[in-house]
């Protein structure tokens, strides 16, 4: 009987199904246990860094602290979201031409680390509009670097981890990352450390974590494969015409952006109800992190069985949370200390389910030699839909957060109809 190494033992403990090739070659299969752990380690460091430099929370507070105007604060989330998604259509051909695509992820991770270090330097030396311009510009660099990681990751994951084990890898990483961010959120809320000092230390740590993640990811064993011939940017869009399942998946994912766009309107609902104790910075970070910690690993294991079902369950949970928020407000309970934080917690669980389900479904659905293009096309379209949905949400908010949340709930429920038409993808 062959004695298993510690890495192999841990690998078997973290996944449900270690049988079958999962679409890997014999050489790649031999390296799968150690690759699985390196994926989990690199991705968890990246997730921790994400939580510590969250634009809608941490960077927004930092710019306000530095005296930058609301104009620059308002640019943060659009720069982060659009910058991370829209460039992928242009970078994907270069990634597909590489024989070992892990190096694209390494470069993107290091780029994020350098940009985060630049944000710390700007915060220490600049104030007012100068700080706003510099930090927004550095966030754009970080977002573009992230787009390179995103467009390459699904391809590398598909080449190095078997199909029935991919959700366990991403779910484990997300839960590990969330555990660390929970600690950050608790310290942030405690007031034991000067908030400005804590935020700068956290962003500095994020920079180091991204650099470390890039170094660890570089040690993945990835079998060299002939790079695909570079295709033009517009030619990649032909995938949408050829693959009806991809179109349906993008529609489903687009409708599920409601789970990502809704949290600020829940906060607004709390503010209107006079809930002065609702600590937006600490409570949002904490609710998101605990939800991720408790649910991501489970979502990942579920996605290995059926990522389509994960998307459907997440849609139901998200719609229920949003409808509950409006119902609680109608009943006069939204001003209580427990109501909206609980709603936000459930919504974050749904959002993490959407993230896990859509990543695994896309990796499993895309052809082995064309994952980067599928990821790029999907993310670029979603980037445009996010911008459109964000604008629509802003206009809808003129009618009040209750109306906006009901519209987002309707979007989540509509995604059920679209997702039900997706194919189940067998190993």
pLDDT tens figures, 182-211: 888 888 777 778 888 989 999 999 999 999
Q: What is the mean pLDDT of residues 225-246?
A: 71
* CA 302 to each of CA 10, 36, 309, 317, 388: distance values in angstroms, whole numbers, following the listed order: 19, 17, 8, 15, 31
Domain segments of the chain as ranges = 25-419
pLDDT of residue 122: 96
**H or E segment and range at residue 204:** helix 195-217
Q: What is the pTM of this model?
A: 0.73
Tokens of 289: 């992190």
Kindly indicate whether the domain formed by 25-419 is annotated with CATH number 1.20.1250.20.
yes
Q: What is the pLDDT of residues 111-162, one digit of tens each?
A: 999 999 999 999 999 999 999 999 999 999 999 999 899 888 878 888 888 7
- Residue 274: per-residue pLDDT: 58
Torsion of CA 96, 162, 417, 85, to 10 degrees: -30
pLDDT at 397: 60
Around Cβ 129, how many Cβ atoms within 10 Å? 14
């Amino acid at each position: 009987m062959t004695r298993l190494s510690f890495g192999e033992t841990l690998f078997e403990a973290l996944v449900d199904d270690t049988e079958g090739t999962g679409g890997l070659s014999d050489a790649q299969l031999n390296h799968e246990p150690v690759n699985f752990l390196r994926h989990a380690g690199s991705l968890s460091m990246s997730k921790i860094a994400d939580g510590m430099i969250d634009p809608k929370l941490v960077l927004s507070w930092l710019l306000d602290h530095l005296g930058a105007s609301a104009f620059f604060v308002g640019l943060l989330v659009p720069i982060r979201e659009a910058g991370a998604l829209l460039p992928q259509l242009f970078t994907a051909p270069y990634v597909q031409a590489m024989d070992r695509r892990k190096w694209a992820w390494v470069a993107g991770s290091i780029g994020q680390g350098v940009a985060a270090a630049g944000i710390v330097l700007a915060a220490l030396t600049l104030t007012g509009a100068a700080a706003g311009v510099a930090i927004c510009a550095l966030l754009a660099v970080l977002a573009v670097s992230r787009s390179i990681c995103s467009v390459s990751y699904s391809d590398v994951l598909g080449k190095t981890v078997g199909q029935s084990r991919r959700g366990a890898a991403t779910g484990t990483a997300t839960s590990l990352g969330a555990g660390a961010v929970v600690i950050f959120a608790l310290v942030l809320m405690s007031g034991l450390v000067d908030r400005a000092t804590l935020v700068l230390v956290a962003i500095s740590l994020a920079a180091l974590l991204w650099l470390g993640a890039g170094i660890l990811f570089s040690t993945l064993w990835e079998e060299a494969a002939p790079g695909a011939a570079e295709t033009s940017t517009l030619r990649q869009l032909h995938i949408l015409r050829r693959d009806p399942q991809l179109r349906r998946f993008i529609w489903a994912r687009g409708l599920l952006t409601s789970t990502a766009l809704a949290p600020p309107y829940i906060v607004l609902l709390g503010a209107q109800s006079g809930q002065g104790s609702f600590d937006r910075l600490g409570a949002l970070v904490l609710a998101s992190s605990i939800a991720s910690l408790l649910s991501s690993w489970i979502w990942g294991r579920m996605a290995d069985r059926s990522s389509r079902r994960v998307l459907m369950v997440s849609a139901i949970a998200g719609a229920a949370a949003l409808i509950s928020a409006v119902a609680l407000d109608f009943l006069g309970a939204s001003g209580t200390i427990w109501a909206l934080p609980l709603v936000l917690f459930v919504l974050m669980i749904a959002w993490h389910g959407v993230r896990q389900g859509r990543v695994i479904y896309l990796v499993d659905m895309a052809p082995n030699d064309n994952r980067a293009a599928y990821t790029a096309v999907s993310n670029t379209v979603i980037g445009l839909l996010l911008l459109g949905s964000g604008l629509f949400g802003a206009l809808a908010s003129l009618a009040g957060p209750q109306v906006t949340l009901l519209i987002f709930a309707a979007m989540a429920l509509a995604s059920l109809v679209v997702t039900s038409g997706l194919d189940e993808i067998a190993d």
